[in-house]
Amino acid sequence: MPKKMAKKTKSSLKKIWLNRLFKLSILVLITLSIIIAWYSYDLPHIRTLEEAERKPSITMVTKDGELLTTYGDLYGTTITLEKVPSYVPKSVLAIEDHRFYRHLGIDIVAFTRAIYNNLIRGRVVQGGSSITQQLAKNFLLAKKKFHYTDRSLRRKVQELLVSLWLEYHFTKDQILSIYLNRIDFGAGIYGFDAAAQRYFFKPLHEVSIFEAAILAGMLKAPTRYNPLRHPEAAIQRGAVVINKMIEYNFISKTAGETEIKIGRDRLLNRKLDIGSYRYFTDWVMDTLPSYLGYIDRDLTVVTTLNTRAQNAAKRTIQTQVNQYGDTKGFKEMALISMNTDGEVIAMVGGKDYSRSQFNRTTQALRQPGSAFKPFVYIAAFEKGFTPSDTMNDEPKSYGKWKPKNIYNQYRGNLTLEEALAYSSNTITVKLLHETGVASLIKLARRLGIHTKLARNLTLALGSGEVTLFDLTAAYGVIANKGYEIYPHGVVEIRDKNTHELLYKSATPPKRKILDESVVKDIDHLLTSAVQYGTSRRSKLKNNIPSAGKSGTSQNYRDGWFIGYAKRTKGPITGIWLGNDDNSPTKGVTGGTLPAETWKMFHDMWLPALARETPIENNEPSSENENNIPQDGPPEAEGTLDGIDQVLNLIHPEETEETITPETIEEYEEFE
């Protein structure tokens, strides 16, 4: 073939291939355009990336302005790289994306390595997303475009498109700044500054290198590496980040090792009250809709909590559980304290909020035992009985049921004052038998107890179920001179941004629940119980008079003490101890550890208030005290022998007053 023909043929082939390549490029561009258009038509406006869409933030404080906690989505101060120490962004780059400043939004090396490792392992063991991709993903999740479990092609393509858009419209420093401000730490915490304040109680510019490393390490699993809940895991993860910073020459090896050592010691030795207020603030949070209805703005809630009382409550409960829990066979205690104006000043719903958020003051239904007896006596006083009336403390059968006193201890003729002081089971049941179960149940409803109550004579011994919260509030009516109290935890609510007052607590109209003479009589009896009866271990120091009643449920499952300091505003305080699985304690009665706990709590902080509020006095006469027989342990009180068998045969649908001496005969003998 002549050279000229050969050249012409090659030139023609080249033109053909160039033409084909051009057409193919056009086709690829059209295809890509279609794909981009298809996957981007419903993308949210990227310009809203820097706008925060979040739940309203609820900040709870004391009357003195002390911060208790924050609910909802928490954002910190908006930061830029110039406003924070350089080791903060470097810690993030070290563990998340050390080639951030060298790629265009997608780290091909990390992406390829992740695919390889995941294929080898047969499961997802490594991620390859860059910081830009993470920001894109969080943006799409925040806009509710996908669920976090979504692994669809559409999500991946849209993340890629958003990542490329970010890289085109923002500088690297701007992208990293947005990331530091918007990244989700879980639990409604967004951004590094908010996380620094929540976990280290300081703004971001004050955190140490090791604290910054812990925050960066938390991004992998915020709950698992939470330094408040899991300090050891957080320390190990922080050390991983520090070592990465050393590897990429962000800090020296010496500085890194020093930070790990100092940071570990500091984190493990810091003293924190984790959850000390959370039982209270959770309860307040649940009540907020009753004040405002739907919440659509950031709020500041001023609460009734008294930090001095709360700290004393937590310290008391933890001390008692740690010291006696194992030997006495109980794992939980709870405390609630309120003033006569209804302000809840202290609440501890369990020994450790971080392990159990179940609030045993407001949620646990337990049998109150003898702590329910004062209501039997109130019902009797309303029907004309007096504290000086006498009854014989001796066993008596009601059909086949025969209640008995603890240790089978009987004292013969006792006044009603003496009967309650010594927590006589036999006299209390006799009294209820004469006054009627229906009257007692109606009284309990008036006092604010609305849980299911046994409709038979066993109710005299506390066979119904109540919450510590309701039982304490019922005693509060006595402390409040017979007037109803309205337990509450909110003083006022304001718009956090405008400071507009949305709600302010006001004293409701007083409703008389008990007559003055009845209040005087039952107060006298409860004071006697403290002075010389089963409740005398609760006596307060500094001559502060008090009144109260202990209680023990069947088989020593629950120990109670409810009482009030005899002062203008109380407080009224309830103590409970037991086990969540309803297993029995090792013989704990309400007149022992619960009464001592009640005393310990008040002795810690009440003396400082003794000079501020006048003390009332209504102690029993010395003549009565001297004439009371003292044979037997003063802490002895009735247990509910056989109550379980009785309750198993009771139908909740029965009408009031269905159990009589005749109908009780159908129940088994259980002595």
Axis-axis angle for helices 192-200, 209-218 (nearest 10)? 110
Nearest alpha-carbon partner for 456 in 318, 171, 649:
649
What is the pLDDT at residue 243? 96
Nearest alpha-carbon partner for 396 in 365, 425, 439:
425
- Look-up of token digits 């008990």: 514
Whether 223 has a pLDDT exceeding 80, the answer reads yes
Calpha distance 30→17 (Å, rounded): 19
The residue among 127 and 532 whose pLDDT is bigger is 532
Kindly report, residue by residue over 273-323, the tens digit of the pLDDT.
666 799 999 999 999 989 988 888 889 999 999 999 999 999 999 999 999
Beta bridge pairs of residue 503: 493
Weakest mean pLDDT among 217-221, 352-356, 461-465? 352-356
- In three-state secondary structure terms, 419 is helix
The residue among 602 and 356 whose pLDDT is bigger is 602
Whether 492 has a pLDDT exceeding 90, the answer reads yes
Beta bridge pairs of residue 563: 548, 573
Calpha distance 489→500 (Å, rounded): 20
What is the pLDDT at residue 270? 81
637, amino acid identity? E
What is the pLDDT at residue 642? 40
Beta bridge pairs of residue 344: 338
In this structure, what token pair is assigned to residue 64?
Answer: 């003195």
Kindly report, residue by residue over 41-72, the tens digit of the pLDDT.
555 555 555 555 557 889 999 998 888 988 87
8 Å CB contact between 358 and 580 = yes
For residues 601-606, average pLDDT: 92
Element (H, E) at 574: strand 572-578
